[in-house]
Amino acid sequence: MRVNITYEGLRDAISALETLSRAGEVAVEEFAEELALEGIQQAIEGIRSGPASGHVYRRYNPARLHQASAPGEFPNEDLGNLADSIELFYPQKAVVAYGSNIVYASYLEFGTTKMAARPWLVPSFKTAQEVMRGRLETKLDEAIRHAVRGHRKRSHMRSARAGLGR
């Protein structure tokens, strides 16, 4: 006497897992972009409205007085070039970043032998992380629920079509 157990539906299970995997990838990529956009917003806000407790300088072309930021503070905006230059970019597939290609952006972030750092990039990212805390989990939960709902609907439609042919 022979006893068998037959498992039907393996294709459906594999399909469901693939759907979940794709949904998770999309959710993480969307989250990474949202995190970078939040970082840009925090950087621009910090540069444009951060404290300025450093020295006051007379600047020319155009003539103006400028109060610099103190070491460790966000750089104080002068003409707005740094804040205007911050942009989102995609250095490779599934990677999102933000920053500035203005030469002095790195001097401000890390300092030089003649000037202490006025970091703007790392502090803006840390603040963005705090603001976005919990959103990835929510986004993944939503993606999973949506993927499962969509898979169930497709599965029920296949079952209904299969039942019609009997």
Residue 5 lies in a domain: no
The predicted model scores a pTM of 0.77
CA–CA separation, 149 and 156 (whole Å): 11
Over residues 43-95, the pLDDT tens digits come to: 999 999 988 899 998 999 999 999 999 999 999 999 999 999 999 999 988 78
Residue 90 lies in a domain: yes
**Which domain does 147 fall in, by range?**
10-164
**b/e per residue 139-162 (b: at least 16 CB within 10 A):** bbeebeeebeeebeeeeeeeeeee
φ, ψ (nearest 5 deg) of residue 98: -145, 155
Number of domains present in the structure of the chain: 1
